Amino acid sequence: MRSGKPVERVAVVTHSEEAAVADAVSRLERLAESKGVELTGEDGGPDLAVTLGGDGSMLRAFHRFLDAGVPVIGVNFGRVGFLTSIEVDELEQGLERALGGDFAVVELPTLDVRIDGVNRPAVNDVFATSSTLGRMVELGYAVGGEDLGVLPCDGVICSTPSGSTAYNLSNGGPVLVWGLDAMVITFVAPHSLHVRPLVIPHNLPLAVTNRTPDGSVTVIVDGMELGKLEPGQQVDVRLGEQRSLLATLPERTFFSRYRKTFAS
């Protein structure tokens, strides 16, 4: 979806080390002033959010604006920055285009995670692993209510398309192209020669149960601990109704980013 509509209000989300992007903030402030664009806080009803950081900054911005309908565009100060669209040396040029409405918006699905009666959204992924560092766990799993058995492993990752290029990819999981309404399930170091990642659609939820006789499993959502599963407890994961809105320069497509980041 192309915007085409000039931006009137912009929120800025910076890297956790704000001193590292102080100059970029000043450059953005000067550009916004020259274009008559108001820089506002996250609660100020922005038309667009600009991140100055890497994929972690994009992740925080997605969470912040999940219910606000605000697209997020990134200037890459990170190491990979797969979700970002603008490099540091083209900050003014790229953001001038974005402020003029020359950007595309991609809707990315989220996950709905339920554990012990608590629901949380996940933008990137959910990871279930042993609460004891270095210990193997036994995880039972079912998709769409159909039991698929119990697997000794180091953990399991369930990720969205935006998260498929993160921890999922580093563990041999497939990349999901932006635009797919699906999630991927990838086991970490499974003790089996036959288990492969699964890509499942919107209407099939995943249930993961801790079948480890004497150990707990920690559930991590987008890098933050959500809770623990004692033996017999389960976490439920399904594709959610909320969407992350990723803004990119029109020519910075998924495949152009993929080619630059992973294929070159």
Write out the catalytic residue numbers.
Answer: 55
Cα–Cα distance, 96 to 58 (Å, whole number): 19
Q: Are 221 and 126 in contact (CB under 8 A)?
A: yes
Burial class (CB in 10 A: 0-12, 13-18, 19+), 195: middle
Q: Report the alpha-carbon distance of residue 48 to residue 11 in Å, rounded.
A: 7
Run of H or E including 133: none
DSSP-H helix ranges across 72-213:
91-99, 167-170
223-243 CB burial, b ≥16 within 10 A, e <16: eeebbbbeeebbbebbbbebb
Q: Which two tokens stand for residue 195?
A: 């288990």
